[in-house]
Amino acid sequence: MNDQTLTPEERTANLKGMGCSRKRVEDVRFTQGKGNYVDDIKMDGMLFGDFVRSPYAHARIKSVNKEAALALPGVIAVLTAEDLAPLGLHWMPTLAGDKQMVLADGKVLFQGQEVAYVVAEDRYIAADAVELVEVDYEELPVLTDPFEALKSDVVLREDLAGQTEGAHGPRKHHNHIFTWEAGEKDATEAVIDGADVVAEEMVYYHRTHPCPLETCGCVASMDKVTGKLTLYGTFQAPHAIRTVVSLISGIAEHNIRVISPDIGGGFGNKVGAYPGYVCSVVASIVTGKPVKWVEDRMENLMSTAFARDYWMHGKIAATKEGKITGLWCHTTADHGGFDACADPTKFPAGFMNICTGSYDIPTAYLAVDGVYTNKAPGGVAYRCSFRVTEAAYFIERMIEVLAIKLNMDAAELRRINFIRKDQFPYQSALGWEYDSGDYHTAWDKALKAVGYEDLRKEQAQRVEDFKAGKTRKLLGIGLTHFTEIVGAGPVKNCDILGLGMFDSCEIRIHPTGSAIARLGTISQGQGHATTFAQIIASEIGLPADDITLEEGDTDTAPYGLGTYGSRSTPVAGAATAMAARKIRAKAQMIAAYLLEVHDNDVEWDVDRFAVKGAPERFKTMKEIAFAAYNQAIPGLEPGLEAVSYYDPPNMTYPFGAYICVMEIDVDTGEWEIRQFYALDDCGTRINPMIIEGQVHGGVTEALAIAMGQEIAYDEMGNVKTGTLMDFFIPTAWETPNYTTDHTVTPSPHHPIGAKGVGESPNVGGVPAFSNAVHDAFRPFGLVQSHMPHDHWRIWKIANGLGLHG
């Protein structure tokens, strides 16, 4: 056996474990079109569902006439709220403790709301029938501005009339949802009142949408013989969906099997439960046939899962020297017609209280007011942990605004306020315990890498040249140092609908030394099948290529809360390491028995246990696996498998330093990214290739959001950006190349020290792009301007500053 001739380094390399850029196992299927996405599922007799949607943002429904639709050959049924009411399914609970209409119950609250559900033999007939359903609407006054909504006499949620208590405490007005506070109000206001310098701004993070390339959809299949419901769908949290379906349908949970097949991107869009799922389940129960529903792009952008829409009013106080003494923030959060935010129960504004960022701010206060308007529900974490990107954008803008007020360099202002390495674990003023960090090292590395001093000189020269009429282009240097909070989360304070946010992994070692592992998470492109096998390979010494990884089938995978909020590696990744360690512990006993020594007399060596002091006497993991199935070992059960449910003791706090250098044409508002440098510290790095890919993709989503992407409404509540013609997604043409870099500060409480990375680039990218735009115009007096910075808005900035002569 060649094992004896290989060095430990060679044996380690053969495992393709943690730290190597292992090629993705998923790609063999995907590159030849052999993925299996929900719309690829075809079943015998399968029917298609499609929605009649409201053209109005606020209207009373006087009548729905189905006759013409039902008369169309091939139409099986048309469901309305009246049909669902006897089942109690015309409304459904939301993740945020509110309830949402499945089908319009007397009125509609946003354009695109589901009014009736048509079931037909094929998708063309369903689409025809949608046109034939006649709905008589009476228009009502529309509220699209959350500040107006809090003053208006118009009652949006008549079903809540008179309810002064909501899911998250008192309601102050009939369009008010909740107030959520963190930190010390009086102390913070006292600091601000007595400060040397205070900067105050309204920072608006506009409404946008995750817009994965695959829209949301499902296939519901009720087997009337067995009484078992199988629900395939684009679910980022399949187990949670199973529990929710059981709770709202009354079907026993063991009779529901939820399967997430391959998912074509999620970014938060596929966390929630949507009316399409409920209607498809009902339709399958009623017809006894499988029913498929897949939304089209316009439905996706108009109705499922918007993100952001936070008006963040901030005050930041500092000494004359620039030491920050206090931070105050009041946020008005536009939640749309129903509060369907995807947040842990105790956090109706997510983890917005990470808004003190990377800085040692002794005193802070945050309040968030949630408001109903005539917009779509959602409030999902679009490629970020719950509201973390809003928090990062807020603090990184406030730092820039403070730098202007102090007439200081913004890089230096950050440096003198960073939490120092020796302060970790760090208790933030708003209630978090940051696990680890080394911000100064990352910052200095980033500034050096881009040649920061020279860039500032070039920028100063450019301003001179501009003033002298030699150029019409300005140079912006966008700085960001972000700190995230991901990996929700500890069960003691994190749950969704009462389900604790632990996660899980089960590993089974086969007799011949290969393995299968199943997790409670679900990949949507992150490459779990590749990276989680690497964790196991390093932990138990079997090659990653010999480990199958499965997710997304609730009948086989252990219970877990799914993939979003960068929680897969921090939580399920930890469970994977812990399950592997249980296997290794048993393997140690088997090895000792086989080697005829005491358990404590063997030691782990890459892929084997060897006798201490006699490394030539060993048993490889492969040999141990076989022994587990063919030897009667006293005191040990046969077999070699383990399951771990991991309840993390804390969140993880990835951080990074991003710098964007942007050229801006003052006359056209056009921009060009000249350089983008992204330094990430996600703790231990499992697969550098995949980390880089995540950063490229996340920064590009940030580019989209900062520079043009939005869900915009007119004053009638019409969605103005409902197709990919209007909703900005950068192409290869306007997307730049990125330079990635890293430092490594492991998480002290995570079994392998990993922190998660998928969302960092979006969280850090948005302020980096936005700050670059602001920085370009800073020499001409710009302090604050709202995203998205499309060409028109940039042109308006230039025009407003008098730069067009």
Partner 1 sequence: MSKMHVKLTVNGREVEGLAEPRTLLIHFLRENLRITGPHIGCETSHCGACTVDIDGKSVKSCTVFVAQANGADVTTVEGLVNEDGSLGVIQEMFREHHGLQCGFCTPGMITRAHRLLQENPSPTEEEVRFGMAGNLCRCTGYQNIVKAILASADMLNAQKEAAE
Residues 6+ apart with CB under 8 A from 352: 310, 331, 366, 368, 387, 388, 390, 391
Residue 492 touching partner 1 (CB under 8 A): no
Nearest CB to partner 1, comparing residues 23 and 62: 23
Pick from 145, 214, 438, 663: which binds partner 1 (CB under 8 A)?
A: 214
| Structure token digits, residue 745 | 């500060």
Pick from 185, 297, 456, 617: which binds partner 1 (CB under 8 A)?
A: 297
Q: Tell the smallest beta-carbon distance from residue 657 to partner 1 (Å).
A: 18
- As a whole number of angstroms, the distance between CA 759 and CA 695 comes to 8
- As a whole number of angstroms, the distance between CA 573 and CA 539 comes to 12
Nearest CB to partner 1, comparing residues 36 and 668: 36
Measured in degrees and rounded to the nearest 5, phi and psi for residue 539 equal: -80, -35
Positions in 120-139 near partner 1 (CB under 8 A): 123-124
- As a whole number of angstroms, the distance between CA 483 and CA 652 comes to 10
The sign of the dihedral angle between the CA atoms of 50, 88, 272, 289 is negative
Residue 215 touching partner 1 (CB under 8 A): yes
- As a whole number of angstroms, the distance between CA 521 and CA 238 comes to 8
- As a whole number of angstroms, the distance between CA 98 and CA 86 comes to 21
Pick from 24, 209, 257, 315: which binds partner 1 (CB under 8 A)?
A: 24
Report, in angstroms and rounded to the nearest whole number, the Rg of the chain calculated over CA atoms.
28
- Minimal CA–CA distance to 271: which of 602, 501, 15? 501
Single out the catalytic residue among 295, 623, 701, 759: 759
SS3 267: coil
Nearest CB to partner 1, comparing residues 71 and 213: 213
Q: Tell the smallest beta-carbon distance from residue 388 to partner 1 (Å).
A: 20
Rounded to the nearest 10 degrees, how much is the dihedral formed by the CA atoms of 789, 790, 793, 794? 70
Nearest CB to partner 1, comparing residues 162 and 733: 733
Residue 30 touching partner 1 (CB under 8 A): yes
- As a whole number of angstroms, the distance between CA 591 and CA 620 comes to 8
Pick from 201, 390, 681, 701: which binds partner 1 (CB under 8 A)?
A: 701
As to burial, measured by CB atoms within 10 angstroms (0-12 exposed, 13-18 middle, 19+ buried), residue 616 is exposed
- As a whole number of angstroms, the distance between CA 277 and CA 287 comes to 15
Please spell the DSSP secondary structure of 324-348, one letter per residue.
EEEEEEEEEEEEESS------TT-T
Pick from 700, 709, 721, 743: which binds partner 1 (CB under 8 A)?
A: 700
Measured in degrees and rounded to the nearest 5, phi and psi for residue 372 equal: -85, 140
Positions in 154-173 near partner 1 (CB under 8 A): none
Pick from 163, 427, 723, 799: which binds partner 1 (CB under 8 A)?
A: 723
Nearest CB to partner 1, comparing residues 211 and 361: 211
384 in catalytic set: yes
Angle, CA 378 vertex, CA 90 and CA 185 arms, to 5°: 120
Nearest CB to partner 1, comparing residues 212 and 654: 212
Pick from 692, 710, 775, 790: which binds partner 1 (CB under 8 A)?
A: 692
Q: Tell the smallest beta-carbon distance from residue 210 to partner 1 (Å).
A: 8
383 in catalytic set: yes
Residue 693 touching partner 1 (CB under 8 A): yes
The β-bridge partners of 742 are 680
| Structure token digits, residue 687 | 């697969």
Pick from 121, 200, 223, 296: which binds partner 1 (CB under 8 A)?
A: 296
CB-CB neighbours of 260 under 10 Å? 30
Pick the stretch among 28-36, 165-173, 302-310, 596-604 that binds partner 1 (CB under 8 A): 28-36
**DSSP code of 526?**
S
Single out the catalytic residue among 100, 111, 113, 236: 236
- As a whole number of angstroms, the distance between CA 324 and CA 552 comes to 46
Residue 264 touching partner 1 (CB under 8 A): yes
Q: Residues in contact with partner 1, total (CB under 8 A)?
A: 56
Nearest CB to partner 1, comparing residues 69 and 211: 211
Residue 33 touching partner 1 (CB under 8 A): yes
Pick the stretch among 29-37, 51-59, 158-166, 467-475 that binds partner 1 (CB under 8 A): 29-37
H/E stretch holding 620 reads strand 614-620
Residue 40 touching partner 1 (CB under 8 A): yes
Nearest CB to partner 1, comparing residues 398 and 662: 662
Q: Side chain identity at 511, as an amino acid letter? A: P
Q: Tell the smallest beta-carbon distance from residue 212 to partner 1 (Å).
A: 6
Pick from 112, 527, 560, 669: which binds partner 1 (CB under 8 A)?
A: 527
Positions in 234-263 near partner 1 (CB under 8 A): 262-263
**DSSP code of 31?**
T
Edge-to-edge order in the sheet of strand 671-681: 473-483, 655-665, 671-681, 739-742
- As a whole number of angstroms, the distance between CA 799 and CA 433 comes to 45
Q: Tell the smallest beta-carbon distance from residue 692 to partner 1 (Å).
A: 7
* Region label for 682, one of left (φ > 0), alpha (ψ between -120 and 50) or beta (otherwise): alpha
| Structure token digits, residue 303 | 């109705």
| Structure token digits, residue 800 | 């407003």
236 in catalytic set: yes
Positions in 605-624 near partner 1 (CB under 8 A): none
Pick from 4, 5, 32, 407: which binds partner 1 (CB under 8 A)?
A: 32
Q: Side chain identity at 428, as an amino acid letter? A: S
Rounded to the nearest 10 degrees, how much is the dihedral formed by the CA atoms of 352, 205, 720, 369? 50
Please spell the DSSP secondary structure of 689-741, one letter per residue.
HHHHHHHHHHHHHHHHHHHT----B-TT--BS--STTTS----TTT----EEE
462 in catalytic set: no
Q: Tell the smallest beta-carbon distance from residue 688 to partner 1 (Å).
A: 10
Q: Tell the smallest beta-carbon distance from residue 687 to partner 1 (Å).
A: 10
Pick from 418, 645, 658, 738: which binds partner 1 (CB under 8 A)?
A: 738
SS3 427: strand
Single out the catalytic residue among 211, 218, 384, 682: 384
Residue 44 touching partner 1 (CB under 8 A): no
SS3 84: helix
Nearest CB to partner 1, comparing residues 38 and 477: 38
Per-residue string for binding with partner 1, 93-122, x by CB under 8 A? Answer: ------------------------------
- As a whole number of angstroms, the distance between CA 533 and CA 415 comes to 39
Q: Tell the smallest beta-carbon distance from residue 575 to partner 1 (Å).
A: 23
Single out the catalytic residue among 24, 242, 383, 778: 383
Q: Tell the smallest beta-carbon distance from residue 267 to partner 1 (Å).
A: 7
Residue 28 touching partner 1 (CB under 8 A): yes
Pick from 635, 732, 802, 805: which binds partner 1 (CB under 8 A)?
A: 732
Residue 27 touching partner 1 (CB under 8 A): yes
Q: Tell the smallest beta-carbon distance from residue 343 to partner 1 (Å).
A: 23
Q: Active-site residues: which are they?
A: 236, 383-384, 759
What residue ranges bind partner 1 (CB under 8 A)? 23-24, 26-35, 37, 39-40, 42, 123-124, 211-215, 262-265, 267, 294, 296-297, 524-527, 689-690, 692-694, 696-701, 723-725, 729, 731-733, 735, 737-738
